[in-house]
Amino acid sequence: MNKINSIRKDWSLIETLIAEDRKILDIGCGDGGLMEQLENNRNAITHGIELNRGLAANAIARGFNVVHGNAELDLSQYSNNSFDYVILSQTLQAMMKPKDILSELLRIGSKAIVSFPNFGHWKIRLQLLISGRMPVTESLPYTWYDTPNIHFFTIKDFLNLCNEMNIVIEKSIGLTSKGKQFDINESVTGVNFFTHEAIFLLSYKNFEPIKIKSSKKVFAKNSVIAN
Amino acid sequence: MKTKFTTDTKLESEIAYFENINLKLESGDIIDSFKLAFKTYGKLNADKTNAILVCHALTGDQYVTGNNPITGREGWWSRMVGPNKPIDTNKFFVICSNVLGGCAGSTGPKELQNGSDVAYGGNFPSITIKDMVKAQSLLIESLNIEKLFSVIGGSMGAMQALQWAIDFPDKILNIIHIAGALKHSAQNIAFHEVGRQAIMSDPIWKNGKYFENNEVPERGLSVARMIAHITYLSENAMHRKFGRKLQSRDIISFGFDADFQVESYLRYQGKSFVERFDANSYLYLTRAMDYFDHDETFRKNIDFSHNPNNHLKYLIVSFTSDWLFPTIESKMIVNQLNSLSREVSFLEIDTDKGHDSFLLEEPQLDDVIKGFLTNNFAKIDE
């Protein structure tokens, strides 16, 4: 089968973080673009959640397993460790309780992939400093009174939260506004300045999940407990 | 199993006779022989992979599309099923049978009791959704179809689709479950009970033996239909359609005529229903819905089924204004399937048309059904 080229730069980076034949939950999956890419290029089994009714309908009509729902309310229905990866792309800043969502991601998935726009980028800092008003940029194009993004944070903030929550950053990729790619771990100061968009592969520290490994018949053990 | 097939020209239906089959019902009763009236549309392909079973709702029948000879009107899902329609009969072989206990040619209260010249009436055994599905599975088997590509239904049809997933997962690949629930709620049972009481308190009903004098408990049955019809709509839809508009008059009559259009409409619905539906069947089928309850058992049934069901795909659809089978009921199914990591899709469609939305013009429903079937069929065809 021919490989699908990503429509979005962050999707192709997300793909590089994912091994073959894995089970994936894409939160905020839109019309299934990333799911299609991962099914096709990584032979993944994909599930998605999408809040927008029209996008969810399109994804279902394209044959994907998509639940029309709200991640902040509906993640609790998934069993522990029922996915290899849970992806939250460009959505954490729009969540009511980002910390709760992060811990949910790593409860449901062995690993989580989180991407977000960096509020510490120099252009944003400069705008706030000079104009004294909330910044409006290409990656954060909304005015303060009409934005889905209700929690602004920088890479530094995110790293601190991960540390506090005992989350291990397995890999991290930064993108400059020109699409140049680099590793975030090297020196946090400069990185926080130039990263336009950040992508993290996360897992739990010192946590060996009890995993009943199989792509299809999952969680016999969990089910017994739940029943 | 030897099944005899005939064609009933008056009913324009195929009839399958299951003789001396001793069908054991959930109640423990046994029907030794029974028949199912059914219609098929489209062509079964050589590999027999394109068969879809459509399950009808409470007062539906086998006439999904094309002419319905009983009413003289179009089939109940003509807008959904047919050539180039969302359930495309150029591509799929669609089967629909009148449920066991129904009154459009399948064995039910109005049919003659085996080996006698008297109709069953109130002697018909109590049947359940599980029994209907068991009978359907025998029909599918006798048509030599090993696996259905899909089982699709709304309302009582959704109950049957869910029952297929529980009882015969090995014989299906996916279900499309529209405006249904894991259980019939207390409120729904209450409405059904009012309908049944209307029928049973009609003096003509006579313990279900009205047919002996060639009579029909018209008053009771039409009132039952009127009540039920209200539950299929929504307040907004009723307001949009009728408001307080008067019927064929400019001023109110200060009497009990059908002053309002909504009254006239309900009376018409009641009257036309009596012409096509059997009162006893209505009692039995509403009861079957009342008895439907997988609230406590669904998760276990799916998780520990002796039949493998991991391959099943589920499409669950609800409607925002459906207060008879509200979205929360559909979400309970979705939650349980997700907790078991099953392949489930769910959509709540925004509409003010109430429970009946699945029968009406809803482009998003069409798109989702068409896409779900086409794309999942392409996957098995690869």
DSSP state letters, A132-185: -S----SSS---TTS-S------HHHHHHHHHHTTEEEEEEEEE-TT--EEESS
Over pLDDT 70: what percentage of chain A? 88
- Helix, strand, or coil here: B22? coil
| Residue located via tokens 């018949």 | A217
Whether A65 sits inside 8 A of B339 (CB atoms) is no
Interface test with B, best of A60, A219, A227 (most B CBs within 10 A): A60
Count of Cβ atoms closer than 10 Å to residue A165 Cβ: 14
Predicted pLDDT of residue A227: 38
Chain A touched by B382 (CB under 8 Å): no
Picking from B344, B346, B375, the nearest residue to A62 by CB comes out as: B375
Q: Is residue A190 part of a domain?
A: yes
Neighbouring residues of B251: CB distance < 8 A, sequence distance ≥ 6: none
**Secondary structure letter of residue B207 according to DSSP:** G
Q: Is the dihedral of CA B280, B292, B360, B245 positive or negative?
A: positive
Task: Sort out which chain B residues have CB atoms less than 8 A from A57's CB and list them.
Answer: 347, 349, 364, 367-368
Range 46-105 of A in CB contact (< 8 A) with B? 47, 53-54, 56-58, 60-69, 74, 77-79, 82
Cα(A81)–Cα(A86) distance, integer angstroms: 10
Interface test with A, best of B319, B341, B344 (most A CBs within 10 A): B341
Range 357-376 of B in CB contact (< 8 A) with A? 364, 367-368, 370-372, 374-376
pLDDT at A218 over 70: no
Helix (H) or strand (E) holding A201: strand A197-204
- Helix, strand, or coil here: B255? coil
Cα(A69)–Cα(B214) distance, integer angstroms: 53
pLDDT at A221 over 50: no
Band (pLDDT 50/70/90 cuts) for residue A224 is very low
**Secondary structure letter of residue B86 according to DSSP:** S
* pLDDT tens, position by position, A140-170: 889 989 988 889 899 999 999 999 999 999 9
Contact B20, B126 (CB under 8 A): no
| Distance set, CA B205 to CA A33, A168, B215 (Å) | 59, 73, 8
CATH number, domain with residue A145 = 3.40.50.150
Least confident of A70-79, A121-130, B143-152, B356-365: A121-130
- Helix, strand, or coil here: B215? coil
Distance from the Cα of B254 to chain A's closest Cα (Å) equals 47
Chain B touched by A178 (CB under 8 Å): no
Q: What's this model's pTM, rounded to 2 decimal places?
A: 0.92
Label residues A213-224 b or e (16+ Cβ within 10 Å = b).
eeeeebbeebbe
Backbone angles phi, psi at A181, to 5 degrees: -110, 140
Q: Is residue A47 part of a domain?
A: yes
Cα(B205)–Cα(B221) distance, integer angstroms: 9
Cα(A2)–Cα(B148) distance, integer angstroms: 31
* pLDDT tens, position by position, B197-217: 999 999 999 999 999 999 999
Whether B340 sits inside 8 A of A219 (CB atoms) is yes
Cα(A78)–Cα(B338) distance, integer angstroms: 6
Over pLDDT 90: what percentage of chain A? 59
- Helix, strand, or coil here: B211? helix
Q: Is residue A1 part of a domain?
A: no
- Helix, strand, or coil here: B13? strand
Cα(B22)–Cα(B34) distance, integer angstroms: 9
Whether A78 sits inside 8 A of B376 (CB atoms) is no
Chain B touched by A216 (CB under 8 Å): yes
Predicted pLDDT of residue B115: 78
Mean pLDDT over residues A73-89, rounded?
96
Cα(B18)–Cα(B41) distance, integer angstroms: 22
Walk along chain B (382 residues) and give the pLDDT tens digit of each residue: 689 999 999 999 999 999 999 999 999 999 999 999 999 999 999 999 999 999 999 999 999 999 999 999 999 999 999 999 999 999 999 999 999 999 999 999 999 998 788 999 999 999 999 999 999 999 999 999 999 999 999 999 999 999 999 999 999 999 999 999 999 999 999 999 999 999 999 999 999 999 999 999 999 999 999 999 999 999 999 999 999 999 999 999 999 999 999 999 999 999 999 999 999 999 999 999 999 999 999 999 999 988 889 999 999 999 999 999 999 999 999 999 999 999 999 999 999 999 999 999 999 999 999 999 999 999 887 6
Distance from the Cα of A28 to chain B's closest Cα (Å) equals 14
Distance from the Cα of B68 to chain A's closest Cα (Å) equals 30
Cα(B1)–Cα(B8) distance, integer angstroms: 22
Picking from B299, B367, B376, the nearest residue to A63 by CB comes out as: B376
Chain B touched by A213 (CB under 8 Å): no
Tell me the β-bridge partners of A201: A113, A171
* Closest CA in chain B for residue A220: B303
Whether B343 sits inside 8 A of A47 (CB atoms) is yes
Band (pLDDT 50/70/90 cuts) for residue A176 is confident
Count of Cβ atoms closer than 10 Å to residue B272 Cβ: 14
Long-range interactions of B295-299: CB distance < 8 A, separation 24+:
B295/B182, B295/B183, B295/B332, B298/B162, B298/B166, B298/B182, B298/B333, B298/B336, B299/A223, B299/A226, B299/A227, B299/B336, B299/B339, B299/B340
Task: Sort out which chain A residues have CB atoms less than 8 A from B299's CB and list them.
Answer: 223, 226-227
Picking from A61, A62, A67, the nearest residue to B338 by CB comes out as: A67
| Residue located via tokens 């993290």 | A200
Q: Is residue A127 part of a domain?
A: yes
Burial of B307 (0-12, 13-18, 19+ CB in 10 A): exposed
* Relative orientation angle of helices B156-167 and B279-291, to the nearest 10 degrees: 50
- Residue-number span of the structural domain to which A110 is assigned: 9-226
Range 8-37 of A in CB contact (< 8 A) with B? 23
Chain A touched by B335 (CB under 8 Å): yes
Predicted pLDDT of residue A214: 58
pLDDT at A223 over 50: no
Distance from the Cα of A181 to chain B's closest Cα (Å) equals 35
Q: Which residues of B are catalytic?
A: 155, 322, 355
Neighbouring residues of B123: CB distance < 8 A, sequence distance ≥ 6: B113, B208
Domains defined for chain B, CATH in brackets: 3-184+293-381 (3.40.50.1820), 188-287 (1.10.1740.110)
Band (pLDDT 50/70/90 cuts) for residue A210 is low
Task: Sort out which chain B residues have CB atoms less than 8 A from A77's CB and list them.
Answer: 334-335, 338-339
Contact B359, B77 (CB under 8 A): yes
Predicted pLDDT of residue A139: 77
Q: Is residue A37 part of a domain?
A: yes
Which two three-digit tokens encode residue A178? 């020109």
Per the rule left: phi > 0, alpha: psi between -120 and 50, beta: everything else, B263 is: alpha
Picking from A23, A61, A216, the nearest residue to B310 by CB comes out as: A216
Count how many domains chain A has. Answer: 1
Q: Is residue A85 part of a domain?
A: yes
